[in-house]
Amino acid sequence: MLTKRIIPCLDIKNGRTVKGVNFVDLRDAGDPVELAEIYAKTGADELVFLDISATEEGRRTMADLVLRVAEKVNIPFTVGGGISSVADVDILLQNGADKVSINSSAVKNPQLINDLVAKFGSQCIVVAIDAKEVDGEWIVHLVGGKVPTELNLFDWAKEVEARGAGEILFTSMNHDGTKNGFANEALAKLSTELNIPIIASGGAGTIAHFTDAFTKGKADAALAASVFHFKEIAIKELKEELHSKDIPVRL
């Protein structure tokens, strides 16, 4: 059985790690490279870096940050934000990223998924989906959750898989930063209907929430930010608890 992954997420704005609630009210959480080093040494399986203002501000993800992180950490890491072309991905992977995450650009140009997969392989391509439950339907949102689309989460996720993406990073905007638990019903539906790994994001507040994401939500990985950045949950302790519940993790 594949081990379940624990993934700290570092949202980057102006070169600093930030964290908010429901995608707003950001506060500083530290230097991203320093945090990355700590997480790599304390048991994180992977890292995700998201330049949360790149798409909004119309500029590329910081390739120099990728270089600095690659020099310091020995675990896989994914970079996202403002990626809209094969050339963007080429730079990031050459600088040391293991995977890239695309979101708004994939919705605006779905062929980009196919093009990236053809060039770099499915294993490198993560499609991030930010969705909000509105009147019982999960609606995909863009530009850091600011712009609603007409896309349904599950329909879009199936298309993403069909186009060759290797993983989906699903963030529930309803749950993001609330620390009330992950969107387990939606996660379970995604995990049941798709064959590629699903990363759960949005809502981690306690160790029990991670347990629920893996058991009730059937997620392959769970991503969190503030509970790790502000030392509310230690990754070692989290993994030991998951292991005690017979959830396969790398200790």
Q: Name the average pLDDT for the chain.
A: 91
- pLDDT on residue 24: 56
- Residue 143: is its pLDDT beyond 70? yes
Higher-confidence residue of 145 and 104: namely 104
Domain span at residue 231 reads 5-244
Through-space distance between the first and last CA atoms of the chain, rounded to whole angstroms: 15
pLDDT tens digits, residue range 86-135? Answer: 999 999 999 999 999 999 999 999 999 999 999 999 999 999 999 999 99
Q: What is the pLDDT of residue 21?
A: 54
In a domain, 189, yes or no: yes
Query: What per-residue confidence (pLDDT) applies to 54?
Result: 62
**pLDDT at position 57 over 60:** no
The residues, ordered by sequence, that sit 6+ positions from 23 with a Cβ below 8 Å of its Cβ are: 130, 144, 145, 146, 173, 176, 177
Residue 193 maps to a domain: yes
Let me know: does 17 contact 32? Beta carbons within 8 Å.
yes
Q: What is the pLDDT of residues 158-211, one digit of tens each?
A: 999 999 999 999 999 998 878 899 999 999 999 999 999 999 999 999 999 999
| Active site annotation includes 88 | no
**Confidence category of residue 51, pLDDT binned at 50, 70, 90:** confident
Q: How far apart are CA 102 and CA 232, in angstroms?
A: 29
**List 45, 88, 130, 176, catalytic entry:** 130
When pLDDT is averaged across residues 213-237 and rounded to a whole number, the result is: 95
pTM exceeding the 0.85 threshold for the entire prediction: yes
In a domain, 206, yes or no: yes
Active site residue 130: yes
Distance, CA of 39 to CA of 58 (rounded, Å):
30
Examine residue 250 and state whether it is found in any structural domain, yes or no.
no
Between 212 and 50, residue with greater pLDDT: 212
**Is 249 a domain residue?**
no
Residue with tokens 């993800």: 61
3-state secondary structure the chain: CCCEEEEEEEEEECCEEEEEECCEEEEEEECHHHHHHHHHHCCCCCEEEEECCHHHHCCCCCHHHHHHHHHHCCCCEEEECCCCCHHHHHHHHHCCCCEEEECHHHHHCCHHHHHHHHHHCHHHEEEEEEEEEECCEEEEEECCCCEEEEEEHHHHHHHHHHCCCCEEEEEECCCCCCCCCCCHHHHHHHHHHCCCCEEEECCCCCHHHHHHHHHCCCCCEEEECHHHHCCCCCHHHHHHHHHHCCCCECC
Number of domains composing the chain: 1
Q: pLDDT band at residue 11, thresholds of 50, 70 and 90? A: confident
Q: Are 69 and 33 in contact (CB under 8 A)?
A: yes
Name beta bridge partners: 78: 48, 99
C-alpha distance from residue 202 to each of 41, 83, 173 (Å): 24, 22, 7
CATH for 210: 3.20.20.70
Structural domain includes residue 251: no
